[in-house]
Amino acid sequence: MQSVQRRFGKPRTADESQVAVLLKDFDDADKMLSRIIEASKAWRDAWVDILTAQQRLAYDFQEMYAPIVGSSDDTNGHEGKETPRTTMMRAIKLQQSHAELKNDLLEEVNMVDSRIIRPAMDAKDHIQPLKKVMKRRGDRKA
């Protein structure tokens, strides 16, 4: 057997345990990258939901203080009072500032895709072929 190994190349020196350790490392890296991807997507989605809820709240304040359309009908003796102009202007400014804030922060939040999620997915994709090569090497050895 040694003469065959001398003719065709070096004798193998890697242990089964070394291959198993490398495969376990690849699995651990794959699991870690999956957790990073999932957590980053959840973080991004949570911020989008927060920004959307804040903008809707500011919009609802503006709608609440706006004059009611069709309120000139019979009001059963109740006299409506118009919202003070300063209060209405503050509600409009609040809604506009929240809309600007949402647009500005959404740009930053969406950078999570290009700076964290996509590189982690690329790394995960690059690990798979290496993992297959190590597994095949271990299978061929056995």
Per-residue pLDDT of the chain (142 residues; tens, 9 = 90+): 444 444 455 555 556 677 788 888 888 999 999 999 999 999 999 999 999 999 999 999 999 888 877 655 555 666 767 889 999 999 999 999 999 999 999 999 999 999 999 999 999 999 888 888 877 776 666 5
CA gap 28, 16 in Å, rounded: 18
Give the C-alpha distances (Å, rounded to integers) separating 23 from 29, 101, 107: 10, 46, 39
CA gap 92, 20 in Å, rounded: 64
- Characterize 99-110 residue by residue with b for buried, 16 or more Cβ atoms within 10 angstroms of its Cβ, and e for exposed: eeebeeeeeebe
How high is the pLDDT of residue 1? 47
Q: At what angle do helices 85-112 and 16-65 cross, to 10 degrees?
A: 170
Rounded to two decimals, the pTM is: 0.71
Which structure tokens are listed for 87? 């209060």
How high is the pLDDT of residue 56? 95
